[in-house]
Structure 1
Amino acid sequence: MDFSQIPGQFPPQALNVPGESIAPVGACVSFEGPSTNTTLKVVDCGSPNNGYTVIQRVSTPDQCPADVAQKFYMNPDEGQFTACLDYAWSSADCLSIGKVSAVRAKCDDVTRPNREKPVNVILNTSTNADCPTGGFPHAVRKFTVCTETQ
């Protein structure tokens, strides 16, 4: 299953929002650096640090869809913006999901906590009720990624 092509995942991009060079929509990204001074870095999709995908750039965090996994506000020289982020699911591996960040992990890597393996996407839903082992609902954009906790 291709988790990078979920219908409805990418809202329309607002015009004239800076940050295209730092957080292009569709880019695979990770959080880098200490928690007190974290930066957003574009990384290769599927690389070990790739925990998120940029689904939209907006002016302020409250403009992101309410169901995104993370919002990251930046104020670089080119102008302030917020990157709206979803988990970067892949059928090839799992995500180790923490309170603040997510990183790619082998599904059998017991040293990584909270490993979630994506198994399916259900469209036109706002809950994970149809996922046999749980999942991550996106109530605003009406899809759920069903997962299995490893």
Structure 2
Amino acid sequence: MAIKRGVLLIAVMITASACGGPHAGDTTTTSTPAAVDFSHIPGQYPPQATNVPGESVAPVGACVSFDGPSNNATLRIVECGSPTNGYTVIQRVYTPDQCAPDVAQKFYMNADEGQFTACLDYAWKSADCLSIGKVTAIRAKCEDTTMPNREKPLKVILNTTTNADCPTGGFPHPVRKFTVCTETQ
């Protein structure tokens, strides 16, 4: 698999503890912990524009990893659930501002196919935590205290714009109207 270089644009996601109930107008639907499939969250994948380059480098739905400094990062497709898999490509667009505003990362590339941006969400799995840094996210055992900022996904709440119904915080996606409830380890 060819390694491509690009520019990583950091999107800010806020993790907060739950406080109070949902905002007025929110209707929530919660999936049960035993049935959570974090790879198929309704509404996670925005519509894909046609003719956006990068299909061979960052296909929508691919599990990816990137390394290096943000001004010269490498993006590569990895096996879903592998130790380096921290992100999933949820959309490809021409410019970073076209990504859904609530994605975890935006990765702009100038590949052989042309210029595009890979819009990325965290690659949550029920059995693992993610160790989330400023630029990277990698899979980690939840009990591994050597890995910083470990977040364990607990459940998904649909039709919400906040993490108010998450008992210990989470990652809201207010534009796509779902929240991944997590627990800091």
The answer to whether TM tops 0.5 is: yes
- How far apart are 1:36 and its partner, in Å? 3.9
Superposed CA RMSD in Å reads: 0.8
- Counterpart of 1:108 in structure 2 is 143
Percent identity of paired positions between Structure 1 and Structure 2: 83
Counterpart mapping for 1:93-132 below 5 A? 93-132=128-167
Unaligned runs of 5+ in 1: none
CA displacement, residues 59-97 of structure 1 (integer Å, 9 cap, x when unaligned):
000000000000000011210000000000000100000
Q: Max radius of gyration: which structure?
A: 2
Matched pairs, number: 150
- SS of residue paired to 1:86: strand
Runs of 4 or more off by more than 6 Å in structure 1? none
TM-score, length basis structure 2: 0.80
State the partner residue of 1:33.
68
Question: Cα offset for 1:35?
Answer: 4.1
- Counterpart check, 1:92 vs 2:127: yes
For residue 33 of structure 1, report the CA deviation from its aligned partner. 3.4
Normalising by structure 1, report the TM-score.
Answer: 0.98
Q: Which amino acid aligns with 2:125?
A: S
Whose RCO is larger (CA < 8 A, sep 6+)? Answer: 2
